[in-house]
Amino acid sequence: MSTGAWNTAANLRRFLQRHGYPPGPLLLTDWGPTNTGWFRSGQEHKNTSIDRLVRELPDVDWLLVGDDGQHDPEIYSRAARRHPDHVAAVAIRQLTPAQQVLSHGSPVPAPAEDADRVHREAPVPTAQGPDGAALARSLADALAAYRT
């Protein structure tokens, strides 16, 4: 699930396959105007998609992985509170200030605070790290601590 546009699907599939992700559907967004405005809401897309996945696949537990570049910490915290029996864990990659700008055009004020809020509010294991390796270690630690 991503707020990325459908024209990125082929590249995204290749990336996921190259890095060992299991095959599955992509929930991407359409770009362009809607009946209600010029731009689509990425937050609404992700919130609606998560709710739909939980409803349509009730026997699946989800690992929500995102970054602090836009609204993932807030969206995933909401999902964990709404669906604690279906969200196994939340992992948030911490972007650098330059990556923040590339993500949405300007630095996000205090992105670490959003990720920290997920740790406080989410009733599931949560992890954060500046890269994939650190995020994997943090997630392993969070899952181990949560199980004990």
Separation CA 15–CA 92 (nearest Å): 19
In the predicted model, what is the mean pLDDT of residues 83-88?
93
Q: pLDDT band at residue 80, thresholds of 50, 70 and 90?
A: very high
Residue 116 has pLDDT above 60, yes or no: no
Separation CA 100–CA 81 (nearest Å): 26
Q: pLDDT band at residue 40, thresholds of 50, 70 and 90?
A: low
Separation CA 76–CA 68 (nearest Å): 11
Stated pTM of the model: 0.76
- Which helix (H) or strand (E) element contains residue 130? none
Give the number of other CB atoms < 10 A from CB of residue 55: 10
Separation CA 75–CA 44 (nearest Å): 9
Q: pLDDT band at residue 35, thresholds of 50, 70 and 90?
A: low
Q: In the chain, how many H helices and how many E strands?
A: 6, 3
Separation CA 115–CA 86 (nearest Å): 20
* Domains, in order of start, for the chain: 41-147 (3.40.50)
Residue 73 has pLDDT above 70, yes or no: yes
Phi, psi of 66 (to 5 degrees): -155, -160
pLDDT at position 10: 93
Q: What share of the chain is helix, strand, coil (3-state, %, to 5)?
A: 50, 15, 35
